[in-house]
Amino acid sequence: MIEIKDLHKSYKMGSNSLHVLKGINFKVEEGELVAIMGSSGSGKSTLLNILGMLDSADSGEYTLDGVPIKNLSETKAAQYRNKFLGFIFQSFNLINYKSALENVALPLYYQKVPRKERQEKAMKYLERVGLKPWADHLPSELSGGQKQRVAIARAMAGEPKVLLADEPTGALDSKTSYEVMDLIQKINDDGNTILVVTHEEDIAHMCKRIVHLKDGVIVEDKKIEQVRAEQYV
């Protein structure tokens, strides 16, 4: 599903240049649930941004679902993001004046799905994350865990190939974090490919594979026995 080869990325800051990714190679198959671990500043978000076509690498190859991702125009990148990817952010990034339902429907809007169909689909995904009764509520009326569930529903609404989550539990207490991980596991059980960036061991162990980043390279990449989050909920 995802294949990257010798990926390099550095940030220029004045005359200095910060080499963040120093040759990353890895492959993600369909249906995987991968944790990307590493200490703060190790380049996890940078990697995820490149995978999400929000940023571009300096060199290296990136193929997503057989499509080479290279020199994309803004418009093309937007189209690919819309079609291939779903994003889940640490701070949820819901649009505060739109109801839960409208937030979930937004990727469908950019897919030019007709309004009625959009609403129905969005409702289906809200139901999936257990928030159907909250459809008409604004984000400000929801708890942190609920917000993240809305965000997950939104990420899934466009039916992307890959879900990218950057510290999805970073802003949540541990109980709520497990609820969110439980949801992510269940979505993965349905066959969705998910990448989760985290620096928390327990969250990482709820995935099926851990990729460890350090000083811009992958120092460890191992399959693990998944810890089910359900038992902590």
Partner 1 sequence: MFDRDIWQEIFNTLKTNKLRTFLTGFSVGWAIFILVMLLASVNGMQNGFVSQFNDDATNSIFVRPGTTSKAYGGFEAGRRIQLKNEDLEYIKQSFPNDIEYISARYYANATARYKSETGSYSVHATHPDHQAIEKTLVVAGRYINEADVINKAKVAVIGRKVAEDLFKNEDPLGKFVEFNGLPFRVIGVFTDDGDDNAERRVYAPVSTYQRIYGNTNDINIIALTYNPTYDLTKALEFSERLEILMKRRHKIDPDDQAGLYVWNYAEAFDNISSFTAVLKGIGIGVGFLILIAGIVGIGNIMVFTIKERTKEIGVRKALGARPRQIVNLVLLESVFITAISGFVGLLFAWVILAAVGPMIQTPAFSNPSVNLSTVVTATIILIIAGVLAGLLPAMKAANVKPIVALSDK
Which positions lie near partner 1, rule CB under 8 A? Answer: 45, 48-49, 52, 54-55, 74-75, 78-79, 81-83, 87, 89-91, 93, 95, 97-98, 102, 106-107, 109-111, 115, 154, 158, 166-167, 170
97 binds ligand ADP (CB under 6 A): no
Strand partners, 11: 18
**Could you give the 3-state DSSP secondary structure of residue 233?**
coil
99 binds, among Mg ion, ligand ADP, partner 1, none (CB under 5 to 8 A by kind): none
Residues 24-63: x where in contact with Mg ion by CB under 5 A, - otherwise, as a string? ---------------------x------------------
> Where in 29-68 is the site for ligand ADP (CB under 6 A)?
38, 40-46
- Evaluate whether 189 touches 221 at the Cβ level (below 8 Å): no
CB neighbour class for 49 (10 Å; exposed up to 12, middle 13-18, buried from 19): middle
Give the interface size with ligand ADP as a residue count (CB under 6 A): 12
Category of 55 on φ-ψ map: left (φ > 0), alpha (ψ -120 to 50) or beta = beta
Rounded Cα distance between 163 and 51, Å, is: 10
Give residues in contact with ligand ADP (CB under 6 A). 11, 13, 18, 20, 38, 40-46
